[in-house]
Amino acid sequence: MHSFNIGKKYILITAAISIAAFVLIELVLRLAFFQCTMPEPNLCNYGVVKYFFNRIEGGGDLAPDQDGVWAIWPHRPYHVQTNSDGLRNVEEFDDEHDFVILAVGDSFTFGPYVPNEDTWPAQLERLLDIDLGPRSTAQVLNAGVSGYTIVDEYHYLYERGIKLEPDLVIIAFFPNDISDMRTLEREYLARPVKQVYPTSYARWARSILTEFEHKSAILKSAHNLKSYIVRQQLQADQAINSVDANCDPFQTDGSTDEGSCWKSYSDWFSKTVLLLKQHNIPLLLISIPDYRQFPEIGYQDYAQDFIGELAANNGIPYIDMLPHLKIALDVDAAYLMEYVPHKLSVQEFVTDNYTGNGHMSSYGYRVVANVITQHLMDSNKLFEK
């Protein structure tokens, strides 16, 4: 009995020391590395990005049931809400609507730095409700996630999107969807497959775990360290193997080269088209330009030409937003950019004389939503049910 008490005492002492060490390390890391630098102190309580992370070297779908302010870019915080399906919608998915549209894409669909109601899917829903009037109601679901490309979009549709039984899927293409097919980006940004949480309890448990992971300085430090190691390993492997030639969407069109990012994107796009056709779900493909493509001697339109040809070959309707945006807005209005002349070179003058963030503004998304609305109302294809 005496030896048992001694052993129990050592266990308690060890546990106490471990807890004290954990608390001490947590405090040191918080003081050293996780000081809040937001311009408004209250933002420090909300500047947390709540993605699902099934593995540190990859991202995932948005966490469900969020309602707060994200302050990734300190001077441009924005309100984010997600429903129980992890979609960036205030309202829940409702199959009582006459028409359900599922918007799939990367950050230019998700809409960083603007609130929910200013993303193009949200503005599209309002415009459709206005144009349809009392005849019908529409719901547009925003499944956009930063960093996704066609591979992730295919897996999302296969695992989750198809189950929503949308009347139309809109895939929004952005030029970096081509470069995101590179090995490094796929290894680091890829959506973990089979990311399905079948019950409300599983979603709730994952939300709690994600919350804890982001609020613990020790776990954040461990994730950052592992993420850094993974990136370094992948970059070293990529430099040695040189497997990602012809991946720049603005410099060269390598779409016919086997093994290039263009060919890989084309293959996954065809798989996505086939998946939707098997479930009798129409697809609309749109492309959103990079702000550096606006000037006449700016970046080339190889990516738009490529994606337009892909759509034509697969019999998919396609809208290139570049000419529509050029007519309606300039770079300063369409994107979160400000023109600041300071260069002498002509090429630098037109493409590099902007400061800010290259994502779109509420005005830019409004034009995108207007163009899509006009296309849907003119074609009548969506509304022939």
DSSP 111-160: -TTS-GGGSHHHHHHHHHHHHHTTS--EEEEE---TT--HHHHHHHIIII
Residue 199: pLDDT band (50, 70, 90) is low
Res 102 pLDDT > 80: yes
pLDDT of residue 214: 63
pLDDT in tens, 148-170: 999 999 999 998 899 999 999 99
Phi, psi of 326 (to 5 degrees): -60, -40
Domain ranges of the chain: 1-35, 40-379
Average pLDDT over residues 110-137: 92
Residue 254, pLDDT > 70, answer no
Distance CA 180, CA 300 (A): 18
In the predicted structure, residue 257 carries a pLDDT above the cut 80: no
| Amino acid 364: pLDDT | 97
Q: Which long-range contacts (CB under 8 A, 24 or more apart) does 114-118 make?
A: 114/78, 114/360, 114/361, 114/362, 114/365, 115/78, 115/79, 115/80, 116/79, 116/80, 116/81, 116/88, 116/89, 116/90, 116/142, 117/90, 118/362, 118/365, 118/366
61 has pLDDT over 50: yes
Q: Rounded to whole angstroms, how far apart are CA atoms 150 and 158?
A: 12
Distance CA 288, CA 300 (A): 14
User: Which of these ranges, 5-19, 152-166, 251-265, has the smallest mean pLDDT?
Assistant: 251-265
pLDDT in the model for residue 211: 65
Higher pLDDT, 221 or 310: 310
Tell me which of 116-120, 204-208, 217-221, 266-270 is least confident. 204-208
The candidate with the shortest Cα–Cα distance to 276, out of 321, 311, 320, is 311
pLDDT top residue among 29 and 140: 140
Mean pLDDT of 23-40: 68
* pLDDT computed for residue 194 by the predictor: 57
Specify the pLDDT at position 365: 98
Cβ distance 97 to 383 under 8 Å?
no
Q: Does the structure show a pLDDT above 50 at 55?
A: no
Provide the pLDDT for residue 6: 67
pLDDT (tens digit, 9 = 90+) per residue, 290-349? Answer: 999 988 778 889 999 999 999 999 999 999 999 999 999 999 999 998 887 765 554 454
Q: How confident is the model at residue 275 (pLDDT cuts 50, 70, 90)?
A: very high
What pLDDT score was predicted for residue 382? 55
Residue 285 forms beta bridges with which residues?
A: 171, 318
- Confidence (pLDDT) at 134: 77
Q: How far apart are CA 173 and CA 303, in angstroms?
A: 9
- The residue with greater pLDDT, 103 or 47, is 103
What's the average model confidence in pLDDT over 40-64?
53
Q: What is the CATH number of domain 40-379?
A: 3.40.50.1110
Which pLDDT score, from 0 to 100, does residue 58 have? 43
49-63, 155-169, 203-217, range with the lowest pLDDT: 49-63
